[in-house]
A and B are shown apart, each in its own frame.
Chain A
Amino acid sequence: MYDFAYQKPASIADAAKLLADPEAKALAGGMTLIPVLKQRLNKPATVVDLSKLGLAGITVSGGMVAIGAMTTHVTVARSAEVKKAIPALASLAANIGDRAVRYRGTIGGSLANNDPTADYPAAVLALGATIKTNRRSIDADSYFQGMFATALEPGEIITAVEFPVPEKAAYVKFPNPASRYAMVGVFVAKGPKGVRVAVTGAGQNGVHRHTAFEQALTKSWSAAALDGIATPSAGLNSDIHGSAEYRAHLVGVMAKRAVAAAG
């Protein structure tokens, strides 16, 4: 770790001012940022801790679940309201990383980072959620822009994520045996925005929608509807844990399991 200055502002305005410096970096749960700093892969002049901005918390109203950016995974996993409104989201959060990670890691950090194998991006994209920042609202379809790339502008702070409550939804993940991030994760949802299927982990460009599955499920919401629809392996990752062909196959298996789980 290189030396850096540490700031813990008490207002979003102050945080934004600090983050206007291109050498500054926001700190949420630190589960990604701290290892990156320890490995000296990043050298921020200032680390801006977002934990005093009042960004943690969950509210459910009017068919919308709003989750503050600093809400930890464990809070989402245990929230009775989330469990009731979008059980798939609670169970997704409950299976992120390990217990220590779930106590520290936040939804805002996960989405800002947009790791191509992270779980939350699949929920956000499939549920058609909206990312709220200190400057604007960004819809899911325009938010994710490839691996580790998002629509966030420099210094922009995610404040909350709003999920429309779906009729049915489920997420099934095939964990990478070593890291337990998603090797393939598929989130299926049927809701106000129609049938949406998002795939994380598999693609070289991170989370993406699976239009062939969406069309089939729109016609008939059943696992059997996905029979015979091959997922092309082009553009999928291939590494020591599995080939692109294997990942393509898993996309189908996870999607069917998700549809079955969603009921």
Chain B
Amino acid sequence: MAPPFEGIGASVRRKEDLRFISGHGHYTDDINRPGQVYAYFRRSDRPHAKIVSIDTKEAAAAPGVLAIYTAADLAAIGGLPCGWQIHNKDGSPMAEPKHPVLAEGRVRHVGDPIAVVIAETKQQAKDAAELLAIDFEDLPGVATVTDAVKPGAPQVHDGVANNVCYDWHIGDKAAVDAAFARAAHKVRLDLTNNRLIPNAMEPRAAIGEYDAATGDYTLYTTTQNPHVIRLLMCAFVLQLPEHKVRVVAPDVGGGFGSKIYHYAEEAVVTWAAAKLHRPIKWTAERSESFMSDAHGRDHVTTGELALDKDGKFIGLRVHTYANMGAYLSTFATAVPTYLSATLLAGTYTTPAIYGEVTAVFTNTVPVDAYRGAGRPETAYLIERLVDCAARETGIDRVEIRRRNFIPRSAFPYQTPVALQYDSGDYVATLDVAMKKADWAGFPARRAAAAAKGRLRGIGMSTYIEACGVAPSAVAGALGARAGLYEVANIRFNPTGSVTVFTGTHSHGQGHETTLAQLVTEQLGVPLAQVEVVHGDTAKIPFGMGTYGSRSLAVGGSAMVKAMDKIIAKGKKIAAHLLEADVRDIEFKDGKFTVAGTDKSKTIGEIAFTAYVPHNYPHEELEPGLEETAFYDPKNFTFPGGCHICEVEIDRDTGVVHVVNFTAVDDVGRVVNPMIVEGQVQGGVAQGIGQALLENAAYDASGQLVSGSFMDYTMPRADDLPSFHVATENTMCTHNPLGSKGCGEVGAIGSPPAVINAVVDALRDYGVRHVDMPATPAKIWSIMHAAAPKMAAE
């Protein structure tokens, strides 16, 4: 019987799922170290206040308390660093106020940690934290970017004038002004990209441990990138030698970006473990997650599109206010700029583009990358603008897209905003999606719905995104303070099995399966014989972790390079064993064969020989079969596609039902179609969540109003229909796999498709735009306001 096909293209079941769904995952909070004690953070319940005094006496005397630390104890410790420096229009660097590990003299957002109590039990730590007597003097707070830039607004940081972190731009302003001057049509849209709370299923947790005998530190933490955390924590915060610090990210239950960043709690438990010589565990309660995990999005944007008389886009002008929150989180500054404004061309040939971003501090939780990071914001703006342009010029919304698409023949395509797209076929994804969604049959469905008193609408987005972050030199030139290559080590074991050590990290994406399939494909080793190891700096080479849909495109490419080296070495060993010239050895399906003969050796035999080198070319080769490769991508990858959403609105209540959703994405080479489908499904669910349900609501002063699931609407299964998901791929031209990435496309392409459908459903009400989330109350008030006007007509 032929072995089952398990290589590239096989929908093999995920190796990791058995342990996940049977409750045998091993998460940070599952780890308990001998002598472990517990940390509890006392956080600010006010948006903005001066800390007049902290009296720890009573708390320190409470049962079980080992230590209480405040900013005063951390004087020797640095602030939490920001990993990306943006420059203002005038070339000066952005404002980068200190992000203290514990609040220094002032709290700046609800959830800002003020003090940590360490006690024998969690309960005791929490009891004692309540006994801390903190005297506050409330200061006026500010929550929105629009309020924060007003004259006289409360100032979040001393020395940051008008709360502006930076004022940045990209593109050619003069060319855009000229385009607008000669435009036949101009379309303008003001919109808000709503703030989201990531809500990974597993709350953040960290355990710090110190071995007094060796001076070694270990930090177990819920991170997407253990080496990055080690680097940031050692070099910037604790000034520890990296080689004495091990960071372990065991099973991690979802991140969506929120677990990329270096957080205060990680530094505190590591530092305090050495002070107390006890392992210290901290696990967030869900309410803490709401106010301490970096939030996502929160942009207020104005976009203007200039068109010629034929509906060709000739200029685009965009200004965004981006909310940074109270402090700069690790990659916050890059999100609205290099991860967002560089995609303003979308899938279109717009020749002149100018984008400006004003980043603003407010008294809110820091904002950073969240599934899609900057690209959903841009896709939403562009695809909403295009729909408005279609309506206002009277050109069909599909036709206007076709007229402006970058044609397949134009790749590689240099956009006016820095990026060069390598491949894509936007007509193909559009055509397939329209067919699958039965776009042509929509008028009949709309009429049928109308007969039942319901409003039906359809909408699409033909988006693009950039992922596979990132070419280090490009990122560095743009302000990144880190390299963004990836690394893999492929180790054959003597008996023929393979251990892959990857610098990427899996927190639900299925890498233990997908990456193993690469080995099966390239080296012919059965899947069951391949183990993927990740998430432990003591085991894996120095990698940059997982975010920006990079694990396959960048991490997988590093694996391919390492496996190329394995094959090259294997050929030499085979040539020796088969007494042939190395140039005559061919490698295929796990076998080294002397070309034109039936003389061959399996890769398992070669591996065995490499470790038991009795008959071995010792003069020219080292024993062993293990190779490492670093891979720095030549470019970003550019997934794109077409999402089509169909909704029905209940006239009486304003409830929007998503009745159909089709996603046809170009993700490049697909390794495991089932996993890709799962990634797209999850992303679309989050995108629909953003469009219809989710909103991190603050009151004007900075109180978090949606601080629990009672008020923050997470999408549930019954909010969503079954999605139609497919891919229509063009290959990435610059990495060896041809893969682009699929982790974020769902969350990027879907929100504009949903809102375009909602606006379409409301077309009789004269509605031009609906801000996200399109809640029942919002839809009802729009209809309610329009009703008298409609009745009069």
Contacts and interface: CB of A to CB of B under 8 A. Distances in A.
Nearest to A252: B652
Interface in A220-263: 240-243, 245-246, 249-250, 253
Interface in B638-652: 652
A241 B713 CA distance: 10
Given A250-B653, A253-B652, A179 B777 contact: no
Contact of A249 (B693, B695, B713, B780): B780
A249 B784 contact: yes
B53 interface: no
Contact of A243 (B652, B653, B712, B777): B777
Contacts of B780: 242, 246, 249
Contacts of B693: 177-178
B143 to A, nearest CB: 13
Contacts of B711: 178-179, 240-241
Given A174-B653, A253-B653, A246 B777 contact: yes
A240 B700 CA distance: 13
Contacts of A39: 287
A1 B654 CA distance: 40
B713 A242 contact: no
A245 B712 CA distance: 22
Contacts of B538: none
B774 to A, nearest CB: 11
Contacts of B709: 178-179
Chain B interface residue count: which class?
20 to 34
A95 to B, nearest CB: 12
Given A177-B693, A249-B784, A250-B653, A241 B712 contact: no
Q: Please name the 8 residue pairs, one residue from A and one from B, whose CB atoms are nearest each other, closest first.
A: A242-B777, A178-B713, A179-B710, A253-B652, A177-B713, A240-B697, A246-B777, A178-B711
B785 to A, nearest CB: 11
Contacts of A174: 653, 776
B414 interface: no
B784 to A, nearest CB: 7
B781 interface: yes
Contacts of A179: 709-711
A214 B386 CA distance: 51
B781 A243 contact: yes
B775 interface: yes
Contacts of A243: 777, 781
Given A178-B712, A179-B709, 5 more contacts: A240-B711, A246-B777, A246-B780, A250-B653, A253-B652
Interface in A139-186: 174, 177-179
B612 interface: no
27 contacts: A2-B127, A3-B123, A40-B126, A40-B130, A174-B653, A177-B776, A178-B706, A178-B709, A178-B711, A178-B713, A178-B714, A179-B709, A179-B710, A179-B711, A240-B695, A240-B697, A240-B706, A241-B711, A241-B775, A242-B777, A243-B777, A243-B781, A245-B784, A246-B776, A246-B777, A246-B781, A253-B653
B639 to A, nearest CB: 31
Interface string B759-793: 00000000000000001110011001000000000
Given A177-B693, A178-B709, A178-B713, A241 B653 contact: no
Contacts of B130: 40
B705 interface: yes
Nearest to B712: A178
A177 B709 CA distance: 10
Nearest to A1: B123
Contacts of A246: 654, 776-777, 780-781
B38 to A, nearest CB: 15
Nearest to A39: B287
Interface residues of A, number: 18
B276 to A, nearest CB: 25
A250 B652 CA distance: 8
Interface of A: 1-3, 39-40, 174, 177-179, 240-243, 245-246, 249-250, 253
Chain A contact residues: over half helix, strand or loop, or mixed?
loop
A177 B653 CA distance: 12
Interface string B110-123: 00000000000001
Nearest to B287: A39
Contact of B775 (A3, A177, A245, A253): A177
Interface string B465-480: 0000000000000000
Nearest to A247: B777
A245 B780 CA distance: 10
Interface in B706-722: 706, 709-714
Nearest to A238: B777
Interface centre among B653, B709, B714, by most chain A C-beta atoms within 10 angstroms, is B653
A135 to B, nearest CB: 33
B710 A178 contact: yes
Interface in B680-734: 693, 695, 697, 705-706, 709-714
B712 A242 contact: no
Contacts of B123: 1, 3
A77 to B, nearest CB: 17
Interface string B238-267: 000000000000000000000000000000
Contacts of B712: 178
A243 to B, nearest CB: 7
Contacts of B777: 241-243, 246
A101 B139 CA distance: 41
Contacts of A3: 123
Interface centre among B127, B287, B776, by most chain A C-beta atoms within 10 angstroms, is B776
Interface string B618-661: 00000000000000000000000000000000001110000000
A253 B650 CA distance: 11
A1 B666 CA distance: 50
Interface centre among A1, A39, A245, A249, by most chain B C-beta atoms within 10 angstroms, is A249
Contacts of B781: 243, 245-246
A40 B127 CA distance: 10
Interface centre among B287, B705, B711, B714, by most chain A C-beta atoms within 10 angstroms, is B711
B706 to A, nearest CB: 7
Contacts of B127: 2
A19 to B, nearest CB: 26
Contacts of B126: 40
Contacts of A2: 127
Given A178-B712, A246-B781, A249-B780, A240 B705 contact: yes
A2 B706 CA distance: 25
Nearest to B710: A179
A241 B287 CA distance: 20
B709 to A, nearest CB: 6
B127 to A, nearest CB: 8
A246 B784 CA distance: 9
Interface string B193-231: 000000000000000000000000000000000000000
Interface centre among B706, B709, B713, B777, by most chain A C-beta atoms within 10 angstroms, is B777
Interface in B176-192: none
Contacts of B652: 253
B199 to A, nearest CB: 12
Contacts of B653: 174, 250, 253
A245 B784 CA distance: 10
A249 B785 CA distance: 13
B743 to A, nearest CB: 26
A243 B713 CA distance: 17
Contacts of B287: 39
A100 to B, nearest CB: 13
B19 to A, nearest CB: 23
B124 to A, nearest CB: 11
A89 B737 CA distance: 59
Contacts of A177: 693, 713, 775-776
